[in-house]
Amino acid sequence: MRDTPEFNQFFADMTALGRAGVADDIGPMIAGLLSEDNRWVNAQRIEVSGGQGI
């Protein structure tokens, strides 16, 4: 979908950051959650959307 300029712009317009997210945006957050420092985080809904508002 990110290779389709119309879809990319559509989703970018809905985010506070003004662009669609990519794997490099999401991966570090997931890695952080999986670290031992976050062992007490459980059963949470954590949104990683770049501020997307639908």
List, for residues 11-37, the tens digit of each pLDDT value: 888 888 888 888 898 899 899 989 999
Residue 27: per-residue pLDDT: 93
**DSSP code at position 18:** S
**DSSP code at position 35:** S
Element (H, E) at 11: helix 5-12
Give the other-Cβ count within 10 Å of 20's Cβ. 19
Mean pLDDT of 37-52: 86
Are 9 and 28 in contact, with CB atoms under 8 Å apart? Answer: no
Residue 21: per-residue pLDDT: 81
Put simply, whether the predicted model's pTM sits higher than 0.85 gets the answer no
Residue 54 pLDDT > 80: no
Residue 51: per-residue pLDDT: 80
Residue 3 pLDDT > 70: yes
